[in-house]
Amino acid sequence: MTTTRRAWPKAILFDLDDTLWPIEPVIRQAEQTLHDWLRDNAPRVAERFTIDNLRQARLALLAQQPEFQLDLGALRRAGLVSAFEQAGEDGDKVEQAMVQFFAARNAVIPYDDVLPGLLRLKGRTLIGSISNGNADLQAIGLSHHFKVSVAAHQLGCAKPDAAIFHAACTQLGVAPEDAVYVGDDVLLDVRGAQQAGLRAVWLNRHGSQAHLEHEVVPDAIVGSFDELLDWLAREHS
């Protein structure tokens, strides 16, 4: 029996954090870098607040103002403003603190298969990204691989809202049904993309069974960029 092969997708869109690189160790290091800077430059804040204290205060602020979920950088900034005020520290230093944090937050190390995979896709399809986070592809040094990069804090809506997927497709000039979205989260990425009319590939690097738990059926499940590229070659002419 012959399997019908589809045309190559006109666009492939990627999630960023935990899809192209691991983010948890980066955030931990960025928070430590920030706190070290506070100790040297805003000591009253560092003396009054531990890293965990600052984190708990942000979570409390997010619970009070859930709109911050669209811009986690703004949430962190607001948390620092409050901490500086409570500690009686010079609030003008908040922006300097944020510069330190973002520099460390963008010091990500892509998974080994990412750069070779992006290079193999070059010229075959349009490549874009959609993220709820605040990774800066230019600062990271990967922006030249992506024709468009859509971020929740810039657009004002976040995955799994169909609007963010449609915005990326519109910017690329492709219909949702002609695009494939690749991400690590079965709800935000896979279900969100499918409900927006895209096909969705779950990049499941760690062998999770979350798709069964949430009754999500990805168009494909892959464990690496190599498997993603194999699926694309196998399913598309």
The CATH code of the domain that includes 87 is 1.20.120.1600
Contact criterion met (CB below 8 Å) for 126 and 174: yes
Contact criterion met (CB below 8 Å) for 159 and 43: no
Q: What is the pLDDT of residues 115-159, one digit of tens each?
A: 999 999 999 999 999 999 999 999 999 999 999 999 999 999 999
- Are 134 and 189 contained in the same domain? yes
- Are 82 and 31 contained in the same domain? yes
Where residue 197 falls (left for φ over 0; alpha for ψ -120 to 50; beta otherwise) is left
- Are 78 and 179 contained in the same domain? no
- Are 56 and 91 contained in the same domain? yes
pLDDT of residue 1 exceeding 50: no
- Are 45 and 152 contained in the same domain? no
126 beta partners: 11
- One-letter amino acid identity for 36? D
- Are 77 and 121 contained in the same domain? no
- Are 17 and 74 contained in the same domain? no
Tokens coding 140: 């990271």
Tokens coding 142: 């990967």
In which domain, by residue range, is 59 found?
25-105
Q: What is the pLDDT of residues 157-175, one digit of tens each?
A: 999 999 999 999 999 999 9
- Measure the CA–CA gap between 149 and 153, rounded to whole angstroms: 12
pLDDT value of position 208: 87
On whether residue 127 sits in a domain, the answer given is yes
- One-letter amino acid identity for 193? A
Helices and strands in the chain, H and E counts? 12, 6
11 beta partners: 126, 179
- Are 181 and 206 contained in the same domain? yes
Which of the pair, 208 or 230, is modelled with greater confidence?
Answer: 230
Q: Tell me the average pLDDT across 57-71.
A: 95
Q: Tell me the average pLDDT across 88-99.
A: 96
Contact criterion met (CB below 8 Å) for 190 and 165: no
Average pLDDT, the chain: 95
This prediction has a pTM of 0.93
Nearest to 235 by CA among 224, 216, 223, 220: 220
- Backbone φ and ψ of 109, nearest 5°: -120, 110
State the helix-helix crossing angle for 94-105 and 72-87, rounded to 10 degrees: 140
pLDDT of residue 3 exceeding 90: no
Nearest to 19 by CA among 123, 125, 142, 173: 142
- Are 131 and 203 contained in the same domain? yes
Which of 81, 105, 129 is the endpoint of a domain?
A: 105
